[in-house]
A and B are shown apart, each in its own frame.
Chain A
Amino acid sequence: MRLTARTWSIVFLFIALKAVGNFALAWGMKHFAEPASANPLHYLRAMFEPAVGAGVVLLLVSLLTRMALLSLADLSYVLPVTAIGYVLAALIGKYFLSEAVTPQRWLGTVLICLGAALVSSTTQSTTKESL
């Protein structure tokens, strides 16, 4: 079974939600006044920061979107196909969070995408439930 337009639209929706959600979360955590801590209450308090809260909401919606995707395709297929999100994370880190992305890290990101492309050429669902 090949990916349908509907499945692709869910893939892209998931990637966009996750990228923006991760950006909001990272930006909010970097600007959170309290220093890093192992105390879970520290992270619960952080969720009341607007950027962190927005990031959490977007990541929760991305979670539901991914669950819908997993009802259509194998886990071993969904993982690599959605790996383009790692490239977006590197780009967002570089251009919006002023993080240094070394050439080695860029090469790693390119390999992740190549591997993802190879896997995406296989059948999307192979289990008994979906055949």
Chain B
Amino acid sequence: MKWFLVILMVTATAASDVLQSHEMKRAGQQSVGARGFLRLIQLIAARGFLLLAMGCMAVSFFSFMALVQTEPLSFAVPASAASFILETLLAKFVLKERINSRRAIGTVIVMAGVLLVGE
């Protein structure tokens, strides 16, 4: 059950993040603060991909809640970093971000850390 929840959480997180990144780059630079947050909420309501991203995030969130109820927070939170590899690949091939060697090596080191944390 523990690893099923981790896989569900990671897949849903990756889908949500790719959709969010795509839409937020299209929307242009946003700010934080009351007006900025209101504008972001309006954006979510107006854009289908952002709504879908919120749905994926809800799946990820409930998986996380189930995980923290039975596993230590110091396991549950770092385990969610398993999405790094999947999201970096999606960023390169779907979002067309440039992943140079330094960024790729850094991501692999992060993944090694995640594996140690999950042992």
Q: Is the CB of B102 within 8 A of A105?
A: no
- Chain B interface: which size bin? 35 or more
Chain A contacts for B100, CB-based, 8 A: 122
Query: What is the distance, in angstroms, from B117's C-beta to the closest C-beta of chain A?
Result: 4
Cα distance A90–B117 in the bound complex, in angstroms: 10
Q: Is the CB of B78 within 8 A of A67?
A: no
Which residue on chain B has the smallest CB distance to residue A92?
Answer: B73
Q: Does B52 contact A (CB under 8 A)?
A: no
Q: Does B88 contact A (CB under 8 A)?
A: yes
What are 20 A-B residue pairs whose CB atoms fall within 8 Å in the complex?
A25-B68, A26-B76, A43-B62, A59-B61, A74-B91, A74-B97, A75-B91, A79-B17, A79-B88, A80-B84, A80-B103, A86-B78, A90-B74, A100-B72, A108-B78, A115-B108, A122-B100, A122-B102, A123-B98, A127-B95
